[in-house]
Structure 1
């Protein structure tokens, strides 16, 4: 079966094979967080986006190939419960934006707007999206042979931007960054992978941007 991105805690992962990268999406409990394992198909090097929870399950997914890097999309605890154990078991580097790094148990280096995270022979562009947290980041993979792929953490979901807890200034910052840095830059076929739930494309969500801005969340 082709990739659908529909995973549930305790259920099997879903795997998407691109020319240069393999994307494995898994959901972990208790808050149904998504974690994404990216593997370079040429070198076998692997990067994990959000060591959210269930470290033994993530380590089984990583397997004997090991792990180069863990990127934490933001500082909320449900996205890093397994971070310390995963880093200790694999020796991987732990990356986060400096504005969120103090909220994490282990960070070996920081990343910011425009930086690149290597996945073997491929790389991910760091996009800083302020509002859900001060240091939230998305990771953009521009597939040379296909569509862009975007890992958005909790900054963008099908149906809206991430929760800004009624803070109007934070919401305006987040919706502005999401529109300017994602929707205004990337094509409709860009596939995005959020921190919880199912995936979507920018084209599917684009018509709703005015409604999101008007409702204020």
Structure 2
């Protein structure tokens, strides 16, 4: 398997979970396939584009697909085909469900648990980039936490709130309280586009993000 470098494609092997990352589509959307190493069960985060690529990645076998937020580039070009081909259960944040044309089987709220075999993914609501954006936390008991943030947190700042000061305040507040306030610097962050980062690398810049307003 490819060495995981933080730039797609790559594979990271944890004690209980294998994380595969691939970038698809013109927007270089990151998709993450999680596979339980005990049961083989798989969950895909953001079926964004290139359905054939994603189906090959998962070998046409998925227990679930989580859409981190309702923006079209994270679901429109692949989610319908991937769900049809695999019969996967669909998940999305409750306020975003109406903006996703593919029916959502489970509307997520803050604190919900999604299972991938024996692995547990905890849902963290991050409101601002969209009303129902979610991050997923895998707390690796044998190592560091791993956090999949969609478009709510990137290297260098939070997600785009399109000039809406209230949405920015909400998103940064959620990120500060629900992520930086409770998770250690060693937490690995997997965003919806681009390279990975850690909370430790980003934490010193939080005051700058707030002062600049984006």
> What residue in structure 2 maps to residue 125 of structure 1?
122
> What residue in structure 2 maps to residue 26 of structure 1?
22
- 1:2 CA drift (Å): 3.9
- 1:86 CA drift (Å): 0.5
> What residue in structure 2 maps to residue 4 of structure 1?
5
Correspondent of 1:151 among 125, 135, 148: 148
Report matched runs for 1:94-113 at 5 Å: 94-106=90-102, 107-113=104-110
1:170 matched to 2:167:
yes
* Matched residue SS, 1:3: coil
- Unpaired segments ≥5 residues, structure 1: 8-12
> What residue in structure 2 maps to residue 91 of structure 1?
87
- 1:4 CA drift (Å): 1.1
> What residue in structure 2 maps to residue 80 of structure 1?
75
Contact (CA 8 Å) 2:43, 2:63: kept in 1 or not?
yes
Q: Distance in 2 between matches of 1:98 and 1:211?
A: 31
Q: Distance in 2 between matches of 1:159 and 1:108?
A: 34
Q: How many residues align?
A: 211
Normalised by the length of structure 1, the TM-score is 0.96
* Matched residue SS, 2:168: helix
Q: Distance in 2 between matches of 1:209 and 1:29?
A: 31
> What residue in structure 2 maps to residue 10 of structure 1?
none
Q: Distance in 2 between matches of 1:6 and 1:95?
A: 25
Contact (CA 8 Å) 2:92, 2:107: kept in 1 or not?
yes
* Matched residue SS, 1:102: helix
Deviations 1:43-63 (A, max 9, x none): 000000000000011000010
Q: Distance in 2 between matches of 1:46 and 1:56?
A: 17
Contact (CA 8 Å) 2:3, 2:10: kept in 1 or not?
no
CA RMSD of aligned residues (A): 0.8
Q: Distance in 2 between matches of 1:60 and 1:20?
A: 22
* Matched residue SS, 2:114: strand
Contact (CA 8 Å) 1:83, 1:105: kept in 2 or not?
no
List structure 1 segments (4+ residues) > 3 angstroms apart after TM superposition: none
